[in-house]
Amino acid sequence: YRRYENGQQYLYCLFAIGEGKYELSNKRIGNTAFDRFEGVEEQLCLPGEKVDLFSPDVITSGEVSNIDLHAPNDEKYAGWSGPFTVCPVGVQCKRIELDFILSGLYNQSNKGDLTNATVSVEAQYRAIDDDGVATGSWLPLLSKSFTDKTVDVLRYTVGQDVPLGRYEVQIHRANNTDTDSTRLRDDLVWGELKAIIDSDSIYNHTVWAVKTLVTGQLSGQSERKFNCMAQRLVDVLSLIHISEPT
């Protein structure tokens, strides 16, 4: 899964190496060695060891993908977007995260100078059962404003801890835009919806956790080509002769 931190995009991967204990060598992304990439962190966990580099059990909703959130005074505004189910049947989460994307955020003066523009968003959540039937009322999940003056693409991950449960989420843009202005850029997109699952982050096999900064080095194809040499570690049996008691 992906997450945005301080304007940077990170890729989080958890690889199952195999049953038993292993050590890794010759770690690469595609054909390029790990140490050639910027911002790579990793953790090798043997069976029974806890993954603490990041939360490994995350579900990304397939129902949310780059949804435009129009301003309330825009003719395309249709009210709340959703509700969308956060996690599948039989699964409970302890945190909900939402990704937002803005392709620039600014207002432009008559002289061409960039000035601040603001976008506000509100999200709600409510509990549902395994049949998708609501078992509670809507509760505030987040209320967030983004303010900037830049032509660069902005990406944010915003999250909130919730009581352990199964939920659905709805969201809308909360502030108006200037529908007549050609100098204002404030289009808001809801990129993804993620659920952090309740887990002890401990596995009965060896796993390899990797957190990678997504830069120009890491293309869409190469990010699927993590590879390494894995050597199985076998316990050594020491035979000790025990004499018969006399």
Tokens of 239: 């035979």
Closest by Cα among 214, 202, 159, 213 to 57:
202
- Give the residue from 9, 67, 65 showing the smallest Cα distance to 194: 65
The whole-number pLDDT of residue 185 equals 95
- pLDDT tens string 2-19: 899 988 889 999 999 999
pLDDT tens, 67-80? 999 999 999 999 99
Q: What is the pLDDT of residue 241?
A: 58
Average model confidence (pLDDT) across the chain: 91
Q: Is the pLDDT of residue 243 over 60?
A: no
Q: What is the mean pLDDT of residues 236-246?
A: 60
- Between 241 and 124, where is the model more confident? 124
Asked if residues 108 and 151 have their Cβ atoms less than 8 Å apart, the reply is no
Distance CA 41, CA 31 (A): 18
pLDDT in tens, 74-126: 999 999 999 999 999 999 999 999 999 999 999 998 888 999 999 999 999 99
φ, ψ dihedrals at 34, nearest 5°: -55, -40
pLDDT tens digits, residue range 141-188? 999 999 999 999 999 999 999 999 999 999 999 999 999 999 999 999
The vertex-69 CA angle with 64 and 74, nearest 5°, equals 150
Range 29-38 contact pairs with CB under 8 angstroms and sequence separation of 24 or more: 29/212, 29/218, 29/222, 29/223, 29/225, 29/226, 29/227, 30/221, 30/222, 30/225, 30/227, 32/217, 32/222, 36/217, 37/212, 37/213, 37/215, 37/217, 37/218, 38/213, 38/215, 38/217
Does the reported pTM lie above 0.95?
no
Q: What number of other Cβ atoms are within 10 A of residue 128's Cβ?
A: 18
Strand order in the sheet with 40-45: 2-5, 8-18, 206-213, 40-45
43 phi, psi to nearest 5 deg: -150, 125
CA distance 84 to 171: 9
The pLDDT score that the predictor gives to residue 112 is 85
- The beta-strand segments (E) located in 30-92 are 32-33, 40-45, 58-60, 67-69, 81-85
* Distance spanning both ends of the chain, measured CA to CA: 66
Q: What is the C-alpha to C-alpha distance for residues 11 and 216, in angstroms, rounded to an integer?
A: 13
Copy the structure tokens of residue 72.
């309330």
SS3 35: helix
Confidence at 242, pLDDT banded by 50, 70, 90: low
Torsion angles phi and psi, residue 115, rounded to 5: -125, 165
Q: Which tops the pLDDT comparison, 241 or 198?
A: 198
Give the pLDDT score at 246.
44
Answer whether the bond into residue 83 is a cis peptide, omega within 30°: yes
- Token pair 């303010």 is found at 147
pLDDT tens by residue, 18-65: 999 999 999 998 888 888 888 889 999 999 999 999 999 999 999 999
